[in-house]
Amino acid sequence: MNELIKAYIGKDVIISTGFTSVDGTLVKVEDNWAQLETKSGIKTVNLEYVSVVQEYPRNKKGKKSSVQALFGE
């Protein structure tokens, strides 16, 4: 899991654990933990509970689009 998530370092992502989700810029992955920089500060997520990781969707102009349905694909 660590190697897969490292591909997202430096990108705006949404990480879902099934119970909650966190969005922010992925800054660090180490020892099965991911550290995200969010608007409210630094958040740390245990990767054992992660069910979905996705890059934050952007509209045609490159701005963050509102996330209507996280799993609506």
CATH number at residue 17: 2.30.30.100
According to DSSP, residue 20 is labeled -
Average pLDDT, stretch 36-44? 95
* Beta bridge partners of residue 25, listed in sequence order: 12, 37
Supply 26's token pair: 């992925």
Which residues on neighbouring strands pair with residue 36, listed in sequence order? 26, 43
Residues facing 21 on adjacent strands: 16
**Which of the residue ranges 2-11, 33-42, 55-64 would you say has the lowest mean pLDDT?**
55-64
Residue 44 located in a structural domain: yes
Residue with tokens 């119970």: 19
What average pLDDT does this structure show over 34-61? 90
Residue 73: is its pLDDT beyond 70?
A: no
How many domains are contained in the chain? 1
What's residue 53's pLDDT? 93
State which residues form the domain around 31.
2-55
Give the phi and the psi of residue 40 in degrees, each rounded to 5. Answer: -95, 5
Beta bridge partners of 1: none
